[in-house]
């Protein structure tokens, strides 16, 4: 059973547009939700993370929206740039068990 | 850069062989996790080591084993390699805390099994 479901699989956005990637989870014991950015040939790099006690977290052009009742969270990339073209992974973790469950990834292509 | 290093960067093995992958954690981190990332997929948790002891394991067979050393560096060993073991192997280091921790990934080792 996939613990974290991510959509869409791929996304094409024009430069300056908003990129939105969605994730849904099953386990209500999850209490930490990071987003990772991965460029080809590189390991995933932490982008932004949220805990369920807040509904939104913003860092620069990146915002996480969190809906605890719906068990969903999303990443918004404002003013998307070609340099944002990468694969994005959402993840979820239980604080008492240090295992991360990753979504299947979204390949973002920002066109100039 | 995260400060997590992995070696080698690429490796080619044949089916049935054994492989050892190495990871050097970020300074000050006492926990290391290993993940397998197949092409086009998200990372899948293999296991985690905390202070040299295994601290959780994913759905991987026993031929996947690991070690963590006193300096918190780590090894992933895979015996009897199968074609499906071809993947990017990632290690991630972290500093364990009661409220969970952020994991910092290395660049990975790409393993090809022929």
Q: Confidence class of residue B96 from pLDDT cuts 50, 70 and 90?
A: low
What integer pLDDT is reported at residue A18 of this predicted model?
97
Contact A92, A101 (CB under 8 A): yes
Q: How far is A33 from chain B (nearest CA, A)?
A: 10
How does A63-90 read in b/e, with b if 16+ C-beta sit within 10 Å? bbbbeeeebebbbbbeebeeebbbbbbb
What integer pLDDT is reported at residue B47 of this predicted model?
93
The residue with greater pLDDT, A91 or B94, is: A91
Chain A residues lying within 8 Å of B58, measured CB to CB: 99
Contact A44, A36 (CB under 8 A): yes
B45 vs A36, A95, A100: nearest CB: A100
Picking from A97, A100, A101, A106 by the largest number of B CB atoms within 10 A of its own CB, the best residue to mutate is A100
Picking from A29, A44, A49 by the largest number of B CB atoms within 10 A of its own CB, the best residue to mutate is A44
Per-residue pLDDT of A83-102, as tens digits, reads 999 999 999 988 666 678 99
Cis peptide before A8 (omega within 30 of 0): yes
Q: Do A102 and B44 touch (CB under 8 A)?
A: yes
Per-residue pLDDT of A36-90, as tens digits, reads 999 988 899 999 999 888 999 999 999 999 999 999 999 999 999 999 999 999 9
Per-residue pLDDT of B44-71, as tens digits, reads 999 999 888 998 898 999 999 999 998 8
In chain B, % of residues over pLDDT 90: 67
For the record, the structure tokens of A7 come out as: 């959509």
């Amino acid at each position: 059973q996939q613990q974290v479901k991510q959509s869409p699989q791929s996304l094409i956005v024009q430069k300056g547009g908003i990129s939105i990637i969605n994730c849904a989870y099953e386990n209500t014991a999850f209490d930490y939700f990071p987003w990772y950015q991965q460029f080809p040939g590189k390991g995933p790099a932490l982008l932004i993370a949220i805990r369920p006690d807040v509904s939104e977290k913003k860092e620069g052009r990146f915002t996480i929206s969190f809906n605890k009742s719906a068990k969903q969270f999303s990443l918004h990339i404002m003013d998307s740039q070609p340099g944002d073209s990468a694969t994005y992974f959402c993840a979820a973790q239980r604080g008492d068990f240090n295992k991360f469950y990753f979504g299947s990834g979204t390949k973002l292509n920002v066109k100039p | 850069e995260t400060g997590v290093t992995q070696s080698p960067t690429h490796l080619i093995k044949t089916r049935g062989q054994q492989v050892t992958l190495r990871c050097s954690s970020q300074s000050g981190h006492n926990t290391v996790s290993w993940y397998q990332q197949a092409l086009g997929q998200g990372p899948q948790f293999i296991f985690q080591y905390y202070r040299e002891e295994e601290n959780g394991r994913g759905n991987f067979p026993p031929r996947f084993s690991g070690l963590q050393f006193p300096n918190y560096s780590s090894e992933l060993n895979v015996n009897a390699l199968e074609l499906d073991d071809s993947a990017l192997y990632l290690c991630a280091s972290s500093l364990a805390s009661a409220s969970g921790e952020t994991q910092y990934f290395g660049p990975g080792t790409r393993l090809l099994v022929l």
